[in-house]
Amino acid sequence: MKKGQNRENLVDQCIVARGGGIGMARIKRLIDLPKVQLNRSDPTPLNRQIERQLRELILSGDLRAQMRLPSTRQLADGLGCSRGTVVGAIEQLIAEGFLISSSRSGTFVVGPLRAAVDRRGDKQAARPVKPVRLSHLGEFLAEARRPTYRPGTAFSTGSPDVADFPFGRWSRLCRSVWRQPPLDAVYNQDPAGYLPLRRAIAAYLHDTRGTRFEPSNVFITSGSQQGLDLVARLLLNEGDLVWMEEPGFIEARYALRSVGAGAVAVPVDSEGLSVTEGRRRAADAKLAIVTPSHQYPMGMIMSYARRMELLDWARQAEAWILEDDYDSESRHSGAPLPALQALDADETVIYMGTFSKALFSSLRIGYLVLPPRLMERFCRARYNLDPFTSLMAQPVLTRFIEDGHFATYIQKIRRKFAARRESVVAAARDYFGDAFEFQGDKAGLYVTAVFSGPLRGRPDDEAARKALAAGVVVAPLSSYYQGPPTAQGLILGFGSIDEKTSRAGMATLSSVIDR
C-alpha cells in the first residue's frame, strides 16, 4: 500500500508469539489486527487516535497478550500517515505499560491483561450490585439526610436567594486578585487560613457583634459543619456528653457520633436553652452547642440572664460552649445582637460563623473563633487532617469585605428578607387564621409556624408529606427533636421565594392540610 493513502479499514497483520515470551517465539501465526481507522475530520491528533484505538483493542482482548505488532513503518504505510505519528502512539502505550518493545524482536502486547479485560467485561454485563458494608460509623453517616434545598420553591429552607448578589463585582475581584495573586495566598501554609481574611472577619465581628478577639484567633474552615467536626474530634472523648438544644440543629449529632460522644437533649424555652434542665440531665457534660442569637429552629434570642447562667456552668464544669451563629447577619431590623463570646471572661466560648447564609453555601467558607489556648493545637491537628481550606476564594472574599461590598449586600438582603417574612406570615394568616402560631425573632431565612388552634396536636410529618406531594417543601418541626416532640409545626423557608410564590405555596398548603 502506498504511503499517504487514506485507508478506511485497515486490516493489518499481527504475529502471535506462542510458547514463550519476547524473543522466544517458536510458533508464529499471522492473525488479523481488527480495524484501526483514522478520521481526518476529527480534531483529535492522529497519534492520539491510533493510541486510543490500540488501547481499546488491547483492553477488549482483540489484541491478546504477546501479540507482536507490525513494524511502525508497516503501520504508517497501512494507515497513510507518517512513521513519527505511529511512533508517538506506540511510545505512549509503552509508557502506559500496554506494550513492550525490544530492539531485536519488535513490539509486543504485554500480558497477561486478562484480569483487567475480565473486569471490564463484568462491568459491561451489569452484574447485580454487591451490597456494600460500611463501618458502623459509615452506616450512620451514610443514613444522613441529603440536602433538599430547592431554590425558588415554597417553602424550601437552606441558602438564600442570590438574585441580588453582585456577581459582576465578585468576578472582577476574582480577576483582579488572581491576575497577580498575593504570594501568601499561593503558598499558604497556615492551617488557620488567609490572614487578611481573618483580619477582615475579626474587624467585622468587632464592629457588628461586640466580639473581643485577635485576628490570629480566627480559624477558617470549609463551613460550620467542618468547624463542628473539628471541635468534636479535638475536644471530646468517647462517652463524653454534649448538651444540644431540643429542638435544635440535629445535624450536629453526626459530628458527635463520629467520636462516640453522646448528645443530651436539653429543652429550650422562651429564653433559650434551659441551663437548669441541662444541669439536671448532665451536669458534667463537656460541651454545649447553642444558637443564642437566633435559636434554631424556634427563633428566640437567648436572654442575658440565661447567657450568664450558661457561662457560669461552663466555668464550673470546665466545659466548652460552641456558639453557632449561623445566620445572625440577617436580623431583619434593629442592631445585630452582641455575641455570647463578647461576655466570655473565661475563654470557654468557641464562636462559629459561616458565609453560607449571608452569601451562599457553595462558597464553603466558615470560621471558628478559638480561645487563644486552643489555637496552636487546632492548627496542628487541622494540618494533619486536611491542611487548610482552599485559598481560591479567601482573598476575593477579603476584598469583598474590605471594600464594603459585604456590608452593603447584607443591608440589602436584610430589607428583602424582612419583606418576605411579612408576606409569608400575611399569607398564612389569610389561609390558616389562628392555626399557626409564629415563633421567634424577625431574623434569618425561615419562620417557624407551630400548630395551634384547630391544628394543635396534628402530626406535622404527615402534613409535610402531603405538601411535598403537592409540590411544596416544608420541614416538619418534629424532625428537629431527638426525643418525643413537644410541639408540632412547619419550618417555612422564604430565602428564595417572592411574594407571589409564597401566596401560591400557602394556598397549596391550605388545600392539603385539613383543619
Ligand X SMILES: Cc1ncc(COP(=O)(O)O)c(C=O)c1O
Residue number, 54 or 337, with CB nearest to ligand X: 337
Q: Which residues of 7-16 are buried (b: 16+ CB within 10 A; e: fewer)?
A: beebebebbb
Residue number, 177 or 358, with CB nearest to ligand X: 358
C-alpha span between 269 and 273 (Å, rounded): 6
C-alpha span between 450 and 416 (Å, rounded): 24
Residue number, 92 or 291, with CB nearest to ligand X: 291
Question: Which H helix or E strand runs over 181?
Answer: none
Backbone angles phi, psi at 39, to 5 degrees: -110, 105
Output the smallest distance, CB 224 to ligand X, in A.
4
Angle at 101 between CA 97 and CA 106, to 5 degrees: 140
Output the smallest distance, CB 229 to ligand X, in A.
10
Output the smallest distance, CB 273 to ligand X, in A.
13
Output the smallest distance, CB 276 to ligand X, in A.
23
Strand-pair category, 287-290 with 320-324: parallel
Output the smallest distance, CB 435 to ligand X, in A.
26
Backbone angles phi, psi at 238, to 5 degrees: -55, 135
Residue number, 366 or 485, with CB nearest to ligand X: 366
Residue number, 278 or 366, with CB nearest to ligand X: 366
Residue number, 362 or 511, with CB nearest to ligand X: 362
Question: Of these, 47, 188, 217, 356, which contacts ligand X (CB under 6 A)?
Answer: 356
Question: Of these, 160, 272, 366, 505, which contacts ligand X (CB under 6 A)?
Answer: 366
Residue number, 435 or 473, with CB nearest to ligand X: 473
Grid coordinates given for 88: 508517538
Which of the 8 DSSP states describes residue 455?
A: G
Residue number, 70 or 247, with CB nearest to ligand X: 247
414 contacts: CB under 8 Å, gap ≥ 6: 329, 330, 331, 332, 333
For residue 326, state whether it binds ligand X (rule: CB under 6 A).
yes
- Give the closest residue to 293 by CA, choosing from 414, 92, 487, 443: 443
Question: Which H helix or E strand runs over 219?
Answer: strand 218-221
Residue number, 309 or 323, with CB nearest to ligand X: 323
Residue number, 366 or 489, with CB nearest to ligand X: 366
For residue 193, state whether it binds ligand X (rule: CB under 6 A).
no
Question: Of these, 208, 274, 291, 496, which contacts ligand X (CB under 6 A)?
Answer: 291
The answer to whether residues 293 and 339 touch, using CB atoms and an 8 Å cutoff, is yes
Question: Of these, 208, 295, 354, 423, which contacts ligand X (CB under 6 A)?
Answer: 354
115-144: contacts with ligand X (CB under 6 A) = none
For residue 480, state whether it binds ligand X (rule: CB under 6 A).
no
Output the smallest distance, CB 328 to ligand X, in A.
11
For residue 320, state whether it binds ligand X (rule: CB under 6 A).
no
What 3 state SS string does 311-345 have?
HHHHHHHCCEEEEECCCHHHECCCCCCCCHHHHCC
Residue number, 113 or 220, with CB nearest to ligand X: 220
Grid coordinates given for 91: 511510545
Site track 222-251 with ligand X (rule: CB under 6 A), x = hit: -xxx-----------------------x--
For residue 330, state whether it binds ligand X (rule: CB under 6 A).
no
Choose the stretch contacting ligand X; rule: CB under 6 A; options: 46-54, 71-79, 353-361, 480-488. 353-361
For residue 156, state whether it binds ligand X (rule: CB under 6 A).
no
Given the C-alpha cell 486510543, which residue does it identify? 52
Output the smallest distance, CB 225 to ligand X, in A.
4
Query: Which residues on neighbouring strands pair with residue 246, listed in sequence order?
Result: 267
Output the smallest distance, CB 226 to ligand X, in A.
7
Output the smallest distance, CB 108 to ligand X, in A.
54
Q: Count residues near ligand X (CB under 6 A).
A: 12
Grid coordinates given for 284: 458534667
Question: Of these, 296, 351, 431, 432, which contacts ligand X (CB under 6 A)?
Answer: 296
Which of the 8 DSSP states describes residue 131?
A: P
Q: Which residues of 278-315 are buried (b: 16+ CB within 10 A; e: fewer)?
A: bbeebeebbbbbbbbbbbbbbbbbbeeebbebbbebbe
Contact residues: ligand X, CB under 6 A: 223-225, 249, 291, 296, 324, 326, 354, 356, 361, 366
